[in-house]
Amino acid sequence: MKLQLLPSTFDENGRAAARQHLACFVVDDLIAFDAGSLALATTPEQKKQIRDVVISHAHLDHIAGLPLYIDDLFATIKRPIQIHATQAVIDVLERDIFNWSVYPRFSELRNENGVVMEYRPFETDREFPVKHLTVRAVDVNHKVPSVGFVVSDGKTVLAMTGDTAEMNGFWNAVNQEEKLSALLIECAFPNELGVLAGNSHHLTPRVLEKELKKFSGDCPVYVINIKPMYSDQVRRQIADLNIPGLDVLEIGKIYDF
């Protein structure tokens, strides 16, 4: 299973930088988990192929690229974009994004080939298929309705938390997996901003260390969703934890799990 965290931030020369403003994880160049930089950083090949988008929650950094992606493809698309999300998230997208004021309600629009976008609501703790993948969404502990995912292609199983603070249900679900190939876990803020992290339902390296004690697997663990302003600080503090197998997921790199 190939996995790539798309770039979303640029350095002073306009090149993709190793800082993450937006969340969009592309699996096998075919399926996007979250859509933060979906329109901005996908290759032409990915744009041709990605018609399934799985959303963890409706925060802007996870959906910003979704309306733009559909807009880009609107005139030419032959198969509608499938948006997989909980009904709670779909309701937010329809009310606050695709509401004709912020952006067109694409779910009501057609091009010459038919509809351009469809919602595929899923329930938590129940597997659902997305192309060749089997996905299970698990509730996590964020400010708004949010899920993490356990994703399998039949050979490889990947778990990703999305945005979250301390949690138990996710660990119960992930610890039942016989063989995980990788775990992706958020760590948004440095230890000094523990209060802000708590208030906004995110992790710091100190809390991440406690959370990982609840994890019984022994696969590599990659940190994701570090706030770009604190990237260096959080990276240093994660390195200082000295936890074997714990690393920060490299932005733009294609991992093969």
Pairing type for strands 127-130 and 133-139 reads: antiparallel
Q: Residue 115: phi, psi to the nearest 5? A: -70, 155
> Measuring CA to CA, how many Å separate 11 from each of 15, 16, 79, 128, 201?
5, 6, 35, 39, 28
Residue span binding Zn ion (CB under 5 A) among the ranges 11-19, 52-60, 88-96, 184-192 = 52-60
Which is nearer to Zn ion, 163 or 209 (by Cβ)?
Answer: 163
Angle between helix axes 205-212 and 231-241 (nearest 10 degrees) is: 40
- Residue whose CB is less far from Zn ion, 21 or 59: 59
Longest dimension (CA), the chain: 56
Q: How many other CB atoms are found less than 10 A from the CB of residue 88? A: 14
Phi/psi of residue 44, nearest 5 degrees: -55, -40
Site string for Zn ion, 153-192 (x = CB under 5 A): ----------x-----------------------------
Helices and strands: H and E segment counts in the chain: 9, 16
Q: Which is nearer to Zn ion, 51 or 227 (CB)?
A: 227
What pairs with residue 237 in β-bridges?
Answer: none
What is the rounded distance in angstroms from the CA atom of residue 80 to the CA atom of residue 87? 19
Binding segment for Zn ion (CB under 5 A), chosen from 4-12, 57-65, 80-88, 212-220, is: 57-65
Q: Is 211 in the site for Zn ion (CB under 5 A)?
A: no
Least distance in angstroms from the C-beta of 124 to Zn ion = 17
Q: Which is nearer to Zn ion, 58 or 73 (CB)?
A: 58
Q: Please count the residues of this chain forming the interface with Zn ion, following the rule CB under 5 A.
A: 2
Q: How far apart, in Å, are the Cα atoms of 203 and each of 47, 163, 250? A: 32, 8, 19
Distance CA 31, CA 25 (A): 8
* Contact mark string toward Zn ion, 20..49, x via CB under 5 A: ------------------------------
Nearer to Zn ion, 59 or 227 (CB): 59
Shortest distance (Å) from residue 141 CB to Zn ion: 11
Q: Tell me: does residue 201 bind Zn ion (CB under 5 A).
A: no
Min separation Cβ 145 and Zn ion, Å: 11
Residue 59 touches Zn ion, criterion: CB under 5 A: yes
Q: How far apart are CB 233 and Zn ion at their closest, in Å?
A: 20
Site for Zn ion in 92-131 (CB under 5 A): none
Residues at the contact surface with Zn ion, assessed by CB under 5 A: 59, 163
